[in-house]
Amino acid sequence: DGRAGNPDPVGDAIMTDAVPSMASVQEEIVAEMAGLEDGLKTYAYLVRLGQALEPPQESIRQDAHAVSGCQSQVWIKAELDAGHLRIAADSEAMITRGIIALLLRVLDGRTPAEILDGDLFFLDKTGLKSHLSPARGNGLAAMVQTIRSRAEGVTGRGPGLL
């Protein structure tokens, strides 16, 4: 077909067999965090992830994308692209940006059904929930719920807002 020497990186990235499963990505995170014995090391890890997180291509810091229930300001935008939910998110707080980086690593580019049906077991297996303050834990729950709500909106399974 003439494409043998010129593969389509965008098309390849969307193919299901080219994308690691949600479970395998979560297991990678669990392995990475296994050596973090306490909350301070976990927070340092999250700060490093937050600092490394690329800012969204466009400004998403708009009221329409704001997530309520978070200790710090968080914005999440989701768009359906070729059947996959593309998620952009940002926060002013580095720890929160680190949490966002983990959520994006697991959920960005998945189908809405994968997001809605998937179990985010890494949150428990890493001890992340237990290391977060109650306010940050509530924020994490709000971010997950917002992403799932946006996935519901594009599937017709609920009233999500893109």
What amino acid positions are annotated as catalytic residues? Answer: 70
Phi, psi of 79 (to 5 degrees): -130, 140
Q: Distances from the Cα of 115 to the Cαs of 56, 69, 84, 110, 146, in angstroms? A: 20, 20, 10, 7, 11
Q: Which long-range contacts (CB under 8 A, 24 or more apart) does 76-79 make?
A: 76/143, 76/146, 76/147, 76/150, 77/162, 78/147, 78/150, 78/151, 78/154, 78/162, 79/162
Cα 159–chain centre separation: 20
Degrees (nearest 5) of the Cα angle 91, 10, 79?
40
